[in-house]
Structure 1
Amino acid sequence: MIYGTGEVLIISPGTWHVNENASQQDSMTYITCHFDIGDLELKAEIISKIANVVFSSDSFFAKETCKIAKKFIQISADKGMTLEEQRLEIQMTFLEFLLLIVKNKDKFSESTAKYTDREAQLARSLATLIADDLKSDHPSLSSFEDNCQILNISTGYGHRVFKKVYGITPLHYLEEKKYSKAKILLGSPEYSIEQVSQMIGAQSLSSFSKQFKKWSGSTPSKYQQNILHKRSVTTIKGSGYFE
């Protein structure tokens, strides 16, 4: 794909890519923003409507996206804000970007849907099976092959459809859900780390500790200490916890 000044390209997750300057003499400057979205339906909407399409500089989407990018730069360069304030401002600006997409999805005429209604339905069904299993206090974590059998499709086809619609593999989605659940449980003082390990379906406490450190860069015990310390409050009667 060739794109130039003021043009915008949203690259679908998992798409191998590299940027090269088409000119041998002129310099090239561009802005790259890496982001992820936990909401699968919104992720699918973005992939379907605008991913892997070059939007010309005079298009509605390119103009609005450039405004967001400039706000990112302004926030990052503002020495009057703390790092925490900058992060929050960038997050709020990014939410504005997502809201822009949702409100104006009918204006993205440059793109065509990249998957069929049947593929979208199958992907949603697979995501639901994965998420529902993990909601249990003792998840069985059925294999992806088992879930595909429930829907009477092959494992290979199910994998391709899921990746096509959501831009991530089923395993990646499962890991995201497990990590989110683990963080919530570790933030509750009533659960031990071993209980949390069992409630996300980890094979052992050791494997859970290793996996959580890969996810967060911190051990479960350290994460739990930090989050509970933040939630600790002092009252007249003593200390307590709040959500």
Structure 2
Amino acid sequence: MVSAFITPALGQTISETIIPDVKTTLNLFGMHIRKVSGEWDYPIHAHPQYEFNYLLEGEQLITVNNRRYLQKAGDLVLLRPGEFHSSQSGNQQPFIYFCIHFDIDDRILNSLLSRLDHVLFEASSSITKRIGPVLGKLVEISSKVSGDMSMLQRMRLQSAVFELLGHLWEAFSVEGNLSSTTYEKVELAHQIHNRLQGLVYQHFKAETPGERRHGIDDIAADLGISVSHCNRVFRQVYGISPRIFLSEQMQHEAKVLLDDPRLSISQISAILGYRDIAHFSRQFKRWCGQSPREYRSATV
């Protein structure tokens, strides 16, 4: 049974470090290693996912949005959703490539990927050198899959792809492939995001949550920016306002707690920091159109 974070009784905790929630969903599609002949000629197509195409041997001539790139062994191609592309041998000889199609619901990472104007990263580039070891790990895991993939192989693949994306983020920020303005904006939005999640747990400890309101003014002050700039930057990166994000987080925690039959609605109201059940019920009904009791009955 899953339950949300429940703070210990006051006075029992000496110190604590709360890590922001991680709720990223990664989907992998059609990952494969393929060896093709010199006559290989894949027609123009597009797909709704991102694609990493990593050349292991030979040469591949890949055309992306009517522009040609000659990909050699060790080179990486990154394709964004909807980009039209085709491929063929670059020298009429066989070649081997490793391909990953994926999508991910992490808004900050998607913000990075959508801004990239690179397609081909040569093997000698600092970017490919940085992520090359993880690509090699993915190739090794994939090459050992035979028939049905085991749970261990599946988890290792997902773990390696997350590691790959993390290195990609670091590489682009360190190497300056994002403009300083864009990078600073995304990092600031990420800081705001983490502090908003922290406010959720502060609500758990608040004796009078109404006095805390949303805490966005405090976040802006701590970061040395205006409230309007805080709202604007967060909306540009995440697509919603900080206030709506915080409300969605509180709503999520309330639903998780209601899914645990061991907790009474009175206990849940107290855990979330509401003055009384009536206050919590009114807020929950604004969120979901039904009372906490009705929600719990419908999900049992």
TM-score by length of 1: 0.48
Structure of higher CA gyration radius: 2
- Relative to its length, the structure with more helix (as a share) is 1
TM-score by length of 2: 0.40
- Relative to its length, the structure with more strand (as a share) is 2
